[in-house]
A = this chain, B = another copy of it.
């Protein structure tokens, strides 16, 4: 049976034909690897995702986590799946051997994770967050902190969370109020007591692992106001003794579970720190250990944000991908109606894939899912290159490209997966609207992705306000070079890609000129007021580039798979990319419609 999670053929095309992933083996870090070890990891991921994650995806949606006042209840299949995930080493697949990791390239790790995200976004949420949590500690924690708090997460014994938002501070993290009072020393550095409420904490409480390591943003008494006064603390649910054994329950209390439209398998919580529900060492206050320097917590968090945002993009991609494969199977097996112009009722009905409008929706899905996967894996490869490329200039370039592509990698799949999954519902007709088919759940699950880890609008401001101008535009220049390189190769190719190359070049030039125009606008509101349209136009530029580059890779290759790649590229240039024009026109006009609109006029 062909998997309906992700196309293995496509993953192999992206890893081995489009990108030369096996060349990574020449780098010292990956020297023990080979195409065989990469493929074995993909095999294992596909198997576990298929056998242990996908089967309870609907059950977890229908039986969301519940809180009885003392414990959080989660269906048992989740724990079974997560044990298999940990046992196969996926919590640590890209980590150092010294930390018990496999030292897989990030690009291969992310390809593996795609299977889990496609099979069951909710269950995969737990290790996904834990991986991000342990990555942060490995990067910024002290050796003692890493040993005690990160290793068990890497081993799969503990899980981890990120505690940023508060009820009054979501996108505006500078406004958090959680307090951290000094509370002496510890084997893990300065100790604090934390007091405050944290909102939207995924994986905030459960019994799937032996312990939960919360990474919590809070303010010390001397902290300056705003985002420059935020520190980062390790706050374990159960305190750990100096010898590593479990100690007292820390003063972290579950205040409530959020009941969501989708993504229900991942318990999402409101946590109270230091409310006195538990009294470690005899008094209220959640015990936490400072990570790194005080007041630098947000920068540590943001250091990891690129990966978290690529992770959100990958989650959206995976949902779009599995929805596409489900719609494709349905379209190939559902008879309904007859070909246009051949309506004789005595003839049998045709499968709906014969209808041009169904093929249009399938092409839209293919262009979205495969394009987004290519982008995500490309960005994952940049994560590898920025630390392991041999030449410093290659590392620097990868860093720049990653900076500018991260908002796209997060926002583009999140936004377009929703439309793509909507097509999957539409292809299923009334059936797609029922819970007997999985596509409606994919639709609900994905709707979170444009919200968390920085909303769509926040990505837009990050891109236009920061990324395209950082280092005197160095990131935009680096991307410009990459896209120009593809355009040049497309023109030299034997494939009929000249028109697409022209369109891409024109779009690229327009983006560059629009960027300059907006930054010359003088006033911040005029510059950033329509940033979301800029983000969307920029996203389509990037995807058009990714698609042209994929099409180029098919040069000289024959067969249905390559025809499909070329036609999806053609589709993207014909049906999707032209939507960029009106957005850039509006931006070029420095349109003031939203700025002029008054509250009282609504």
Seen from chain A, the residues whose Cβ lies within 8 Å of a Cβ on chain B are 165, 168-172, 174-175, 199-200, 225-227, 258-262, 328, 332, 335-341, 343-346, 349, 353, 355-360, 362-363, 366, 418, 422, 425-426, 429-430, 432-436, 440, 443-444, 447-448, 450-452, 455-457, 460-461, 523-525, 528-532, 560-561, 563-564, 567, 570-571, 574-575, 578-579, 581-582, 585-586, 591, 593-602
Contacts and interface: CB of A to CB of B under 8 A. Distances in A.
Is the contact region of chain A dominated by helix, strand, or loop, or is it mixed?
helix
A529 B356 contact: yes
Contacts of A560: 598, 600-601
A602 B564 contact: yes
B171 A337 contact: yes
A573 to B, nearest CB: 9
Contacts of A570: 593
B363 A597 contact: yes
Contact of A594 (B168, B356, B432, B455): B356
Nearest to A591: B574
A596 B582 contact: no
B430 A199 contact: yes
Given A175-B345, A447-B425, A602-B564, A585 B594 contact: no
Nearest to A342: B524
Contact of A586 (B258, B259, B574, B601): B574
Contacts of A346: 225-226
Contact of A200 (B170, B430, B461): B430
A443 B261 contact: yes
A434 B258 contact: yes
B578 A593 contact: no
A591 B581 CA distance: 19
Given A337-B172, A582-B579, A357 B567 contact: no
Contact of A355 (B170, B258, B435, B457): B457
Given A578-B585, A582-B582, A586-B575, A451 B426 contact: yes
A461 B358 CA distance: 13
A434 B261 contact: yes
Contacts of A343: 226
Contacts of A594: 356-357, 359-360, 363, 571
Across the A-B interface, the 6 shortest Cβ-Cβ residue pairs: A226-B345, A341-B524, A578-B582, A564-B601, A356-B529, A261-B440
Contact of A170 (B259, B356, B430): B430
Contacts of A260: 433-435, 440
A578 to B, nearest CB: 3
Contacts of A175: 336, 345, 349
Contact of A341 (B360, B523, B595): B523
Nearest to A425: B447
A339 B172 CA distance: 12
Contacts of A564: 601-602
29 contacts: A171-B336, A171-B429, A172-B338, A172-B349, A199-B430, A225-B346, A261-B435, A332-B599, A339-B525, A353-B602, A356-B528, A356-B529, A356-B594, A357-B457, A357-B531, A360-B530, A360-B532, A360-B594, A362-B597, A422-B447, A426-B451, A426-B455, A564-B601, A574-B586, A575-B586, A575-B593, A579-B579, A579-B582, A582-B582
A525 to B, nearest CB: 5
A24 to B, nearest CB: 30
